[in-house]
Structure 1
Amino acid sequence: MSDYQTYDLGDVRLQRGATLRACKLAYKTFGTLNPAKDNAIVYPTWYSGQHYDNEWLVGPGKALDPARYFIIIPNMLGNGLSSSPSNTPEPYDGPRFPQVTACDNVRAQHRLVTEKFGIRTLPLVTGWSMGALQTFHWGALYPDMVQRIAPFCGSAKCSRHNVVFLEGVKAALTADAAWNEGWYGSAKPARGLRAMARVYAGWGFSQAFYREELDLKTLGYSSLEDFLVSFWEGFFLPKDANNLLAMLWTWQNGDISDNELYRGDLKKALGAITAKAYVMPGATDLYFPPEDSQFEVAHMPNATFVPIPSIWGHFAGGPGTSPKDVDFVDQKLRDLLAR
């Protein structure tokens, strides 16, 4: 039995022109929506992650405490639970799955929040990595609804350098002959997934993380090779390649200003985010560097720059890997919710 629910969105017209028919948005909730419907927090998922992978930040005594808040974790389109290449029927199955933007995702989530639950105000939207991208979108698309945002280890727009990093990931995966232009059937492109994992391994954690041998001393792996195989290859091998590529496209085309409201004006879109904001980059994140966050904060009227002082690179923000960083993020969420 699944531990999540599905909201049927019907036929959804996407930004890039296709229609995702019988679109389904998978989600999980924690806690109880109060009678005033003003205690809901939206906590979107990240690249390749599902709602299970977000649960490390939710629990009794934490900032996201189900005893106090109604926490909604919507699964991103393409992640295998919501409508995705792996579960969409022909003709939009597999590599024919339509291009979905972060804006499409957040508009779908907005429908869930407003239509299903009748919520009109959100005390907080927060998320890691691509969850941060969606968090920025919530702030820009629905400024009158969102009171606070806390994007961590993510950005409002995919940078050119980030696009290049992802091109390497994509090339490694699709170089496998078993990839077969996405029509691989049950014979998954395992070599491509393993190669993708090794490319990602050089980016997910920082140079200092590897220099200090935290893969061995803290995470308990027996060697660097053991870490690459067990952690990284083990992370990506169970995932569907078409799903990964669909979400990768969403990531590369992430931009809060790419819509009819802001028409490509990023500074205008950032300026429209009136929510109180803690923008929390990882101090050693290799593909969401603090400098990008400083630019964002400089153009947001109520934002504070709060770097995570960690050598865990991008993984300073999740998925619950570094206890010290978990405590830091949790405390900052407490501080923000108290404002």
Structure 2
Amino acid sequence: MTDHEIFELGDLALQRGGTLPGARLAYATYGVPGRAAILFPTWFAGTHEANEWLIGPGRALDTDRYFVIAPNLFGNGLSSSPSNTPPPFDRARFPQVTMADNVAAQYRLVTEHLGVDRLALVLGASMGAGQAYQWAVGHPEMVERLASITGSSHTSPHNQVFLEGLRAALTADSAYAGGDYAEQPRAGLRAFSRVYAGWGLSQAFYWERVHERLGFATLEDFITGVWEANFAGWDANDLLAMMWTWQHADVGRTPGFDGDTVAALASVKARALLLPSRKDLYFPPEDEEWSARHLPHAEVRVIPGIWGHLAGGGADPEAAAFVDAALRDLLATG
């Protein structure tokens, strides 16, 4: 993993009340400070390393031109999380952290620690997109451009039902023990992974047997070799903490908007590019088409292909090229 740094936040007051004591924000930077700054928060069950497919010389986020900042989501095991927070806020007692709380911490990182007062672009994929939206609503004077990749401005009811299924699979393992497990609930993590396997990729991906082209002879090999392997190293409470943040995401809950998501979107000053995936099962294009109708300056470009939600993560070369080109176009706008 690319080296990361820690920004010590002290006691962080939270949007829903209470405090996250001794809060720590993990982050990585790429490029030279002083260049036009880009902020690229992480997604669910990912770290800054997962963002690096878009970062570097000759890529859309060209480090010969831009200074890229990648803060890690609370709950992802690098920033403050259930797994690394001391008692009494460890494990399942970790405070409820919102998207706005993540952005409040990132704002301090960017302005206080890194001395950045303007962001040429804030972008993210999946939960990262939710943070990007939150930045554009919460700090409209700072954000010039917004890019949402396979995400949305708020978590839809259907998306919340999907998350409830994941939560139920993980916590049904008796080894979970209400979050106070001595060892990771392996059966729960395995069930969680298998539920996710049916949602992260599209029906067409499986119908066309793409897993075989990736070197997996059977569906069982693919599920165990990709999905179970991906989540096997994660702490169960960390996953649940990030899921809570995801499930309660809504820019309408930003202070001053009283739950009015439409009004929150209308307040955005940034030029927005929304990049949903054509066959995403839980962040479908309709979510972003709805948001675009309420943003003052927005364009929707639908990522082609059959990779579903994973089209936003660089795994499919066709989708990756589409996203890279779209971001280049956005950065070229005045």
By the TM > 0.5 criterion, same fold? yes
2:138 is the counterpart of 1:141? yes
Following the alignment from structure 1 to structure 2, what is the Cα–Cα distance between the partners of residues 89 and 220?
Answer: 42
Output the amino acid matched with 1:232. W
Q: Give the CA deviation at 1:117.
A: 1.2
Output the amino acid matched with 1:330. D
- 1:213 corresponds in structure 2 to 209
Output the amino acid matched with 2:222. F
* CA deviation profile, 1:129-149 (whole Å, cap 9, x unmatched): 000000110111111110001
* CA deviation profile, 1:114-161 (whole Å, cap 9, x unmatched): 001111110001110000000110111111110001111001100000
The one of 176, 180, 183 aligned to 1:179: 176
* CA deviation profile, 1:235-292 (whole Å, cap 9, x unmatched): 1110000000000000000011113221100000010111011011001000001111
- 2:116 corresponds in structure 1 to 119
Output the amino acid matched with 2:277. G
- Superposed CA RMSD: 1.0
Following the alignment from structure 1 to structure 2, what is the Cα–Cα distance between the partners of residues 58 and 222?
Answer: 33
2:11 is the counterpart of 1:11? yes
Following the alignment from structure 2 to structure 1, what is the Cα–Cα distance between the partners of residues 29 and 254?
Answer: 29
Aligned partners of 2:138 and 2:254 also within 8 Å: no
- 1:20 corresponds in structure 2 to 20
% same residue: 54
For structure 2, the 5+ residue unaligned runs are none
Output the amino acid matched with 2:328. R
Following the alignment from structure 1 to structure 2, what is the Cα–Cα distance between the partners of residues 142 and 213?
Answer: 44
Structure 1 counterpart SS, 2:10: strand
- 1:248 corresponds in structure 2 to 243
- TM-score where L is the length of structure 1: 0.97
Following the alignment from structure 1 to structure 2, what is the Cα–Cα distance between the partners of residues 69 and 220?
Answer: 37
Following the alignment from structure 1 to structure 2, what is the Cα–Cα distance between the partners of residues 108 and 151?
Answer: 20
Aligned partners of 2:76 and 2:239 also within 8 Å: yes
- 2:292 corresponds in structure 1 to 297
* Corresponding pairs, count: 333
For structure 1, the 5+ residue unaligned runs are none
Following the alignment from structure 2 to structure 1, what is the Cα–Cα distance between the partners of residues 188 and 173?
Answer: 5
Following the alignment from structure 1 to structure 2, what is the Cα–Cα distance between the partners of residues 214 and 278?
Answer: 29
- 1:234 corresponds in structure 2 to 229
Structure 1 counterpart SS, 2:68: strand
Structure 1 counterpart SS, 2:251: coil
Following the alignment from structure 1 to structure 2, what is the Cα–Cα distance between the partners of residues 2 and 49?
Answer: 13
After TM superposition, which residue ranges in structure 1, 4 or more long, deviate above 4 angstroms?
none
